[in-house]
Amino acid sequence: MAQEKDDKLKKLIQSVELDQPKVDFTATIMQQIEAQESLVSNPALQVLLEKHLVESPSAGFTQNLMMDIERLDKKVVYEPIISKEVWYGVSIAAALLITLVSFLGKSSKTNIDVPPLANNINQLTGKIILQINGLPTLVLACLFAVSTLLVLDYYISSKAKSKTVYEF
């Protein structure tokens, strides 16, 4: 029975082809031998390497690393303190205020003492309103229509982008 096992082992060894070494096999082995000899000849290096042996990573190292990479891949989206809708409301309110003031024209004068800074601001806004009133009505209507369409286009396109679902 032992003879049969030996025969089977010999046949198996004969049927398996021997691995051919790589072309630079001898050079690689010689480099490893020289590296070990340099360790023996340099005891300070050997002590240093023994102190700082390569440690194997923890059991969940790969999983933790992949989770960290996934977190880095996600882009952080910063949200402004004041939303776009609020800014749109403020700009529309300002536009309406300027429009109302320009259509109402001159207001009644009162004898209230106005501080100098408020008087300067009042004069500046009065000049701006006079310039706006000096424009032809058709130009004002076109500017208002174009600006309204631009705001609507921007608002609709930003809503469409925010509804986009990304699938992986």
Give the tens place of pLDDT for each residue, 84-117: 888 898 889 888 888 877 777 655 555 666 566 6
Q: What is the pLDDT of residues 29-83, one digit of tens each?
A: 888 777 776 656 677 777 776 777 666 777 788 888 888 887 776 776 777 787 8
What are phi and psi for residue 82, nearest 5 degrees? -105, 120
Indicate the pTM of the whole model.
Answer: 0.26
Proportion of the chain in helix, strand, coil states, percent, rounded to 5: 70, 0, 30
HSE at residue 155, side-chain half, CA atoms within 13 A, is: 13
Q: How far apart are CA 94 and CA 83, in angstroms?
A: 17
- Ranges of each domain in the chain: 84-106+120-162
